[in-house]
Structure 1
Amino acid sequence: MNPQISLPRQHGGQPNFGSVPSRSRSEGLRMPRFFKRLFKFPQMDFEMAIWEMTRLIIAPKKVFRSIYYHTKNTWHRPDPSFTYLLSFFLLLTSLGWGLAYADGVGRTFRIMAVFIFGHFLAVSLLVATAAYFLVGQILGPGVPGLPGRRRGLFVAPGDTEQLEFGYCFDVSIRAFFPIWVFLYVVQFILMPVIARDAYVSVFFGNSLYLLALGYYVVITFLGYNALPFLHHTELLLSPLLVFAVLWVITLVADYDLPKHLAPVLWAGAGLRHGV
């Protein structure tokens, strides 16, 4: 499934998560295109979203290379199709977790809400907000005497060296996809095996967390590395070393992450601690 990728416009304004009108400043700020298209389902490119999901695991670098050309002269893609699609997948997996480990219908609905609005959207917004300020300040082109030049949430037309908040959100929700694959789907399927009291179960279960978090870091790095005006983005890979050290520590201590950590992470959703 290959999406149609169009060439970027050579002239014209640059749309953003919070776009600025190109006619005159007196018109004020227009509604961001992302919110304009929030409920226009026929205009959403779900085919492109599915293509991105298939590439995020096997070839994540291609995803961020295509976003600029697909959105025409902006790094942010004002299309909520990926968010809707991943939320739908989380809805399905929350049903599985609820039927298997929750007590009652009410707690199953609570799991749905926590999975989608807490784990996915709230965490993605927090990560995007932190990246918007920290990455823009530390890794941006900057000005003399400052570590980085702060970019406004609303990007001025024609300014190609602006870190868009919408793009930060694009990166964070795409980095969450492998988390969903490994910790919401694969972990659920393998939970009866990896939660056993055996060292092999500890090894494979803890490696699952390392793989999920490692993918999150790598996809985040690739997302910001695609921006030509950011420098030393390899610093974003530093958490990999921390995760690897923690993985070794858990193996030496014989600490089973799926058995002990999953009930804690999902406890707020109403799951039994006997996961």
Structure 2
Amino acid sequence: MSKYGKLSPPVSPTGSSIMSPLSSMNGSSKQDARLTATSKRQKYFKRLLRFKQMDFEYAFWQMIYLFVSPQKVYRNFQYRKHTKDQWARDDPAFLVLLSFWLVVSSVGFAVVLKLTFLAFVKFILWVIFVDCIGVGIVIATFFWFVTNKYMIMAPPRGQDVEWGYAFDVHLNAFFPLLMILHLFQLFFLTYCIALPGFFPRLFGNSLWLIALGYYIYITFLGYSALPFLKNTRTLLYPITALVFVYMLSLMLDWNFSRGLSTFYTFRVST
């Protein structure tokens, strides 16, 4: 971690193998600029199984800087807009790495919750396709609609928020939440956080406050990075409600982590 902290993240994955077949084509950047949203989406999904063409080093850099300095991650999104005329990622490496961490955290939860193998498989499918991707599609669609409907500067000058970019913002914000609530929390869940009492509840719910607050903040950074949006600070307003619910949970004996464990166990056992 210290090795990365002294260096600046790569500006774009131009040195990766994903660029090598494209760089040999004349006028490739102009061709990408003319691609429709459907064509870009098709290219993205075609690369999902081409691991050799993915820039995992660049995706790993992004994951590190989502904790260290998330603003730098969105500067690279701005660079992609200038070079490829799209805000959204064209390399699925980040999604693949995120899926890997989802599987790792699911193994940890399966051990802590003492799930059977069948329940473990169901748990992984739920976490990846419902909790991450399914909920992400709903959230991305919501922000895509709201930002394009109410936050575009007038006149719009032909610019709008790409749905793919809205989904990328969700993935960026989801990664720190995953690492805090699905990995870091596991080491304290059984012998600390899930126990009755005020201090276990304080510790566990504080992790939820940090994780969800980080999600809101990184989401705000994602949309504030778009120069044609206005009033993006309103995306920070849910933090007020989050703090209120946090204080209420401490007074009313709501242990979010214990509730999550109960919910996960019930969901895979039915």
Quickly name the TM-score band, shorter chain normalised.
0.7 to 0.9
Q: Distance in 2 between matches of 1:184 and 1:128?
A: 22
Query: 2:70: which partner in 1?
Result: 60
Q: Distance in 2 between matches of 1:267 and 1:196?
A: 19
Equivalent residues, number: 247
Q: Distance in 1 between matches of 2:45 and 2:186?
A: 34
Q: Tell me if the contact between 2:108 and 2:183 (Cα under 8 Å) persists in the aligned partners.
A: no
Q: Distance in 1 between matches of 2:121 and 2:223?
A: 35
Query: 1:212: which partner in 2?
Result: 211
Match of 2:121 among 106, 109, 128: 109
Query: 1:39: which partner in 2?
Result: 49
| Cα deviation, residue 48, structure 1 | 1.1
Match of 2:97 among 58, 66, 85: 85
Is residue 126 of structure 1 aligned with residue 138 of structure 2? yes
Q: Tell me if the contact between 1:56 and 1:178 (Cα under 8 Å) persists in the aligned partners.
A: yes
Query: 1:5: which partner in 2?
Result: 11
Q: Distance in 2 between matches of 1:68 and 1:123?
A: 26
Q: Provide the secondary structure at the position in 1 that maps to 2:185.
A: helix
Q: Tell me if the contact between 2:65 and 2:72 (Cα under 8 Å) persists in the aligned partners.
A: yes
Q: Which fold has the larger relative contact order, with Cα–Cα distance below 8 Å and residues 6 or more apart in sequence?
A: 1
Q: Provide the secondary structure at the position in 1 that maps to 2:228.
A: coil
Q: Distance in 2 between matches of 1:256 and 1:186?
A: 17
- Distance change >3 Å, CA 236–CA 210, structure 1 → 2: same
Q: Distance in 1 between matches of 2:71 and 2:265?
A: 31
Query: 1:180: which partner in 2?
Result: 178
| Cα deviation, residue 267, structure 1 | 3.2
Query: 1:238: which partner in 2?
Result: 237
| Cα deviation, residue 14, structure 1 | 5.8
| Cα deviation, residue 270, structure 1 | 3.9
Q: Provide the secondary structure at the position in 2 that maps to 1:12.
A: helix
- Distance change >3 Å, CA 14–CA 238, structure 1 → 2: farther
Bigger fraction of residues in helix: 2
Moved over 6 A (4+): none
Report percent identity of matched pairs: 33
Q: Tell me if the contact between 1:124 and 1:169 (Cα under 8 Å) persists in the aligned partners.
A: yes
Q: Tell me if the contact between 1:7 and 1:70 (Cα under 8 Å) persists in the aligned partners.
A: no
Q: Tell me if the contact between 1:102 and 1:108 (Cα under 8 Å) persists in the aligned partners.
A: no
Q: Which amino acid aligns with 2:51?
A: F
Q: Tell me if the contact between 1:128 and 1:168 (Cα under 8 Å) persists in the aligned partners.
A: yes
Q: Which amino acid aligns with 1:180?
A: L
1:193-212 alignment runs, 5 A limit: 193-212=192-211
Q: Which amino acid aligns with 2:48?
A: L
The TM-score with structure 1 as length reference comes to 0.81
Q: Tell me if the contact between 2:47 and 2:92 (Cα under 8 Å) persists in the aligned partners.
A: yes
Query: 1:75: which partner in 2?
Result: 87
Q: Provide the secondary structure at the position in 1 that maps to 2:48.
A: coil
- Distance change >3 Å, CA 253–CA 106, structure 1 → 2: same
- Distance change >3 Å, CA 47–CA 248, structure 1 → 2: same
Deviations 1:206-227 (A, max 9, x none): 1111111000000000000000
Unaligned runs of 5+ residues in structure 1 are: 22-28, 144-148, 150-158
Over the residues paired in the alignment, what is the CA RMSD in angstroms?
2.6
Q: Tell me if the contact between 1:53 and 1:177 (Cα under 8 Å) persists in the aligned partners.
A: yes
The TM-score with structure 2 as length reference comes to 0.83
